[in-house]
Amino acid sequence: MHCWNPSGFQVGKAGSEFVHANLVIFLDSNLRIAKWIYGTDYSSHDVDLALKVAAGESDWIGQHSQLVYALLLFAGSILCVAFSYYLLQLRLTRRASRTAAAN
């Protein structure tokens, strides 16, 4: 039986003892956090999947993180250049319209 205590943590009663929330952390070979499992009820499938992610086998984003980062950086750079170009064109258009109105 699981319930929520007033502090917001999920707890359960196992016989005469209480089960409290756990955090299991899986580290990769560089000692970085690869995956974590939070709670008191997780399956062996969850543990197997977390071990595969930590080993670098089944986490697509983890395997291709450098490529994803490079693409995001490139897209952000293009967006900044396009926005700067738009602001420059807007400023030049307003300046031209003020000059035309003054003449």
pLDDT in tens, the chain (103 residues): 455 555 555 556 667 776 666 788 889 888 888 888 887 777 888 888 888 888 877 767 767 788 989 999 999 999 999 999 999 999 999 999 998 888 7
- Say yes or no: 68 and 50 in one domain: no
- Say yes or no: 55 and 18 in one domain: yes
The reported pLDDT for the residue numbered 36 is: 85
- Say yes or no: 55 and 70 in one domain: no
- Say yes or no: 90 and 69 in one domain: yes
- Say yes or no: 51 and 81 in one domain: no
- Say yes or no: 82 and 97 in one domain: yes
Helix (H) or strand (E) holding 44: helix 44-55
| Residue range of the domain that includes 19 | 1-59
- Say yes or no: 51 and 76 in one domain: no
Domain count, the chain: 2
Indicate the residue among 28, 43, 59 that finishes a domain: 59
- Say yes or no: 50 and 87 in one domain: no
- Say yes or no: 73 and 34 in one domain: no
Cα–Cα distance for residue pair 49/43, rounded to 1 Å: 10
- Say yes or no: 77 and 91 in one domain: yes
- State if pTM tops 0.85: no
The reported pLDDT for the residue numbered 53 is: 85
Residue with tokens 């955090």: 23
CB burial string 15-49: b at 16+ within 10 A, e below: eeeebeeeeeebeeeeeeebbeeeeeeeeeeeeeb
